[in-house]
Structures are given as structure tokens and as C-alpha cells.
A and B are shown apart, each in its own frame.
Chain A
Amino acid sequence: MSYDWSVVWRHADLLWEGTKVTIFLAVTTMIIAVPGGIVLALMRLSGIRILAAASATFVEFFRNLPLILVIYTAYYILPVATGLRFSPIATAIVALSLNVSAYNGETFRAGIASIRKGQSEAGYALGMSRTRVMFEIVLPQAVRRVLPVLASTWVSLFKDTSLVSVISVGDLAFESMRVRSQTFRVLEMLTAMAVIYWLLGYPQAKLVDWINKRYRVNE
């Protein structure tokens, strides 16, 4: 069996296009899912029963489903349910955002809950409103505790974007597999795909470990 690694260089442009799509998906999803997570957490902690229940249901539902299933279902349901035509990439962003928002919602909820009650009570004692206490006292402190978890979620998201290749979004996984099926250089292309993901993911994983150490809460 002879290997021909030149196939990887000859298709470097396609791999680069795929890599850009992968990065775009991860960034866009996080831009949607951070505010999404904050909204879910605020709903959960609002004290209004119906909002809290809606948020809890959303979070538990999407945290307990395989992402690949959410992607497939979104692919089939979105056009029928909305009457609009969704491009694969738009479908991918919807599915990823639903999933990551649910995780972020839980992250923010736990982060906010971890701020001791005395902090908000002190705010009230100073005559601050509920909203001001939340935005000026609780959230700034919660962000510090939430940051390491968000960083881990980011790394998971970056890897999970590969799953959207199943609905033909031209990300790194999809492009690599397409070149593989066109050239039959299976080992070369799949190894190149793994190495590119590794090159992108390894520094991120190390950075997350560092953030976790840096922001560790010592009790």
C-alpha cells in the first residue's frame, strides 16, 4: 500500500474553506448562545413561575438530546414549521444555538446562584432596585465564575460543529470527506482532517486548562 500525501496539498484550498466555515459556525453560535443563555438563566431566576418552567424545560430538553439528532430534526422541521427556506448553514446555526444556549443557560444559572445572598441583600439595603442589583452586583461577579465553564463549552462547541457535516454544511469535516470520496485517498484525507482539528483544538484545550487554573475558586 503506497500513500500519496500530495493529495492533501492539492486540495489545501478546499480544506481552508472548510476550516473557515468551522470557525464561522463556532463563533456565530457562541454570539447567539451567550445572550441566549443569559436570558434563559434570568427567566429561570425571575420568580415568575411560567417563565421559570419554560426555561427549565428548554434547558433540560436540549441538554438531554444527542446534538446530531437535533441537527437532523431541525433540518426536516424548520422549513415545514416556519414556511421559510433554510440553507444548511442557517439550519446548522439554529441547531447548534439551541444546544449551546441550553448549556449556557445552566452555566449562568449556576454562576448566579453561587453568588452569596448577602451580596444582593446588601444591594437592596442600599436602596438598589432588583434589576440594578442583578446587573451591577450579581452578574459581574457571576461572570468570573462562569468564564471557565464557558471556555470549556466553547471547546466542545468547536468540536461539535463537525456534526453539521451530516446535513451537507461545507465545514472542515464535510470538505475532507468529500475530497476523500472523490480521490479515494482515504487514509491521507482523513488523517489530514484529524490533524487540522488537532492543530486548532489542542491549543484551545490547553488554554481552557489555564483559564480553569487561573479562575479557580478557592474555598
Chain B
Amino acid sequence: MSLDFTPLFDSWRFLLGGLGLTLGLSALTIVFSIVLGGALGLARCYGPAWLRWPLVFYIDSMRSIPVLVVLIWTYFALPVVTGVTLPPFWAATLALTAHISAYVAEIIRAGINSVRAGQERAAFALGMSRYRAIRDIILPQALVRMLPALGSILSITIKDTAIAAVIAVPEYMNRSQTVAGQSFHPIEVFIVAMIVYFAILFPVTRAVDMIYARYAYLGRS
């Protein structure tokens, strides 16, 4: 079996554009998911009681449905309900954010719950208000403990953006399929795609591990 990588050189601009979209989609999804997931997680822990069960229902439902299903539903079925057709990129951003923010909310909750109750009581004993106890005592410790899980959200998101290829977002995976189909060299194209994704994801995973190892001591109490 002989490999011929020339089709990739011929369409490198096309692929590079796809890579840019992969990174852009990942960045937007991560920022939106952390904001929305953070709000959901905090609301679940400290929000009013009536809000709690709809939040738990939303979070657990998103954890039980495949991201592919969320993407396809958002792109194809949502316009039937709303009458508004989103372009693939924004449908993907919406679907991935809806999905990933549920995971972020879970991480926030687990982090907050991992701070022992004695910490909060000690803060109250010192006369701190509930707001100050949460802001100055609980969240700083919880945040450090959330770091590895939040870090893994980065690589999970980048990997999940590849699934957006199925709703025709012209990101790297989708463009690889195009090049593979046009050049009749799918093996070479997908081998390069593996190298590209690995080259992005491996440093991210490693960096997260290193940063956590550096700051883990701050989360001890």
C-alpha cells in the first residue's frame, strides 16, 4: 500500500480554514459553556428551592442524550418549532453550549460540595455573611479542585466540535471529508486529520495536568 499525500498539499488552505473554524467553534463553546454552566451550577447550589428540580432535570437530561442527537435536533428540528433557521455554525455553537454547560454545571456543583461543611461554619462563626462566606471561603477552594475537571472540558469540547461535521459546519473534520471525497485518498487525509487533532489535544491535556499539579496545594483544607 503506497500513500500519496499530494492532495493534502493541494488543499492546505482549505484545510487550514477548517482548522480555524474548529478552534473558533471550540473557543466560543468553551466561553459560553463556562458562563452558562457556572450560572446553572451556582443556581443549583445556592438558588431558590423551586429552581432546583428543573435545573437538575435539565442537567441530567443533557448528560443522558448523545451530543450528536442534540446537534442534529438543534439544526434540523428546532427551525420547525421556531421558524428560524440558524446557520450550521451557530446551530453547532448553540447545541454544543447546551450540552457542555450541563457538564460544567455538574463540575461546579461537585467542586462546591467537596468543600467541607466546617469551612462554611467557621466563616459564619467569624461573623461573615453568607455571600462573603461563599465568595471568600468556599469558592476559592472549590475552584482549585474543579481545575482538572474544567480542564478536561477543554479537550472534550474540541473533540465534540468534530461531530459538528455532520450538520455541515465546515470545520476541520468536515473539510477533511470533502478533501477525502474529492481526491479519492481518504486514508492519507484521515491520517493527517488524526495527527492534527492529536497535535492540538495532547498539549491541552498535558498543560491542564501541569497547571493542576502546580496549584493543587491551594485546594487543600
A residues sitting closer than 8 Å to B (CB atoms) are 1, 60-61, 63-70, 72-73, 76-77, 80-81, 155, 159-163, 165-166, 173, 177, 180, 186-187, 190-191, 193-194, 197-198, 200-202, 204-206
Bound together, the chains give a CA A201 to CA B99 distance in angstroms of 14
Residues of B within 8 A of A76 (CB): 180, 186-187, 190
Residues of A within 8 A of B73 (CB): 190-191, 193-194
- Do residues A77 and B187 form an inter-chain contact, with CB atoms below 8 A? yes
Residues of B within 8 A of A72 (CB): 177, 186, 190
25 contacts between A and B (CB under 8 A): A60-B202, A63-B205, A64-B155, A65-B197, A65-B198, A66-B163, A68-B162, A68-B173, A69-B194, A70-B194, A72-B177, A72-B190, A73-B193, A80-B1, A155-B63, A159-B67, A162-B66, A173-B68, A186-B80, A190-B73, A194-B69, A194-B73, A197-B64, A197-B65, A201-B66
- Do residues A66 and B66 form an inter-chain contact, with CB atoms below 8 A? no
Bound together, the chains give a CA A166 to CA B168 distance in angstroms of 13
Q: Which residue of A lies closest to B163 (CB)?
A: A68
The 7 closest A-B pairs by CB, nearest first: A201-B64, A66-B162, A159-B66, A64-B201, A162-B66, A73-B190, A187-B80
B residues sitting closer than 8 Å to A (CB atoms) are 1, 60-61, 63-70, 72-73, 76-77, 80-81, 155, 158-163, 165-166, 173, 177, 180, 186-187, 190-191, 193-194, 197-198, 201-202, 205
Q: Which residue of B lies closest to A60 (CB)?
A: B202
- Do residues B60 and A66 form an inter-chain contact, with CB atoms below 8 A? no
Q: With both chains docked as a complex, state the minimum distance between the C-beta of A39 and any C-beta of chain B, in angstroms.
A: 22
Q: With both chains docked as a complex, state the minimum distance between the C-beta of B63 and any C-beta of chain A, in angstroms.
A: 5
Q: With both chains docked as a complex, state the minimum distance between the C-beta of B182 and any C-beta of chain A, in angstroms.
A: 14
Most B CB contacts (10 A, CB to CB) among A65, A66, A72, A165 go to A66
Residues of B within 8 A of A202 (CB): 60-61, 64
Bound together, the chains give a CA A198 to CA B63 distance in angstroms of 9
Residues of B within 8 A of A80 (CB): 1, 187
Bound together, the chains give a CA A194 to CA B98 distance in angstroms of 14
Q: Which residue of B lies closest to A158 (CB)?
A: B66
Q: With both chains docked as a complex, state the minimum distance between the C-beta of B73 and any C-beta of chain A, in angstroms.
A: 5
- Do residues A177 and B65 form an inter-chain contact, with CB atoms below 8 A? no
Residues of B within 8 A of A70 (CB): 194
Residues of B within 8 A of A191 (CB): 73, 77
A173's partner among B69, B160, B191 (CB-CB below 8 A) is B69
Q: With both chains docked as a complex, state the minimum distance between the C-beta of A45 and any C-beta of chain B, in angstroms.
A: 19
16 further A-B pairs in the complex, CB-CB below 8 A; given A76-B187, A173-B72, A194-B65: A64-B155, A64-B202, A66-B158, A68-B162, A72-B190, A73-B190, A159-B65, A162-B68, A162-B69, A166-B166, A187-B77, A191-B73, A194-B70, A197-B66, A200-B64, A204-B64
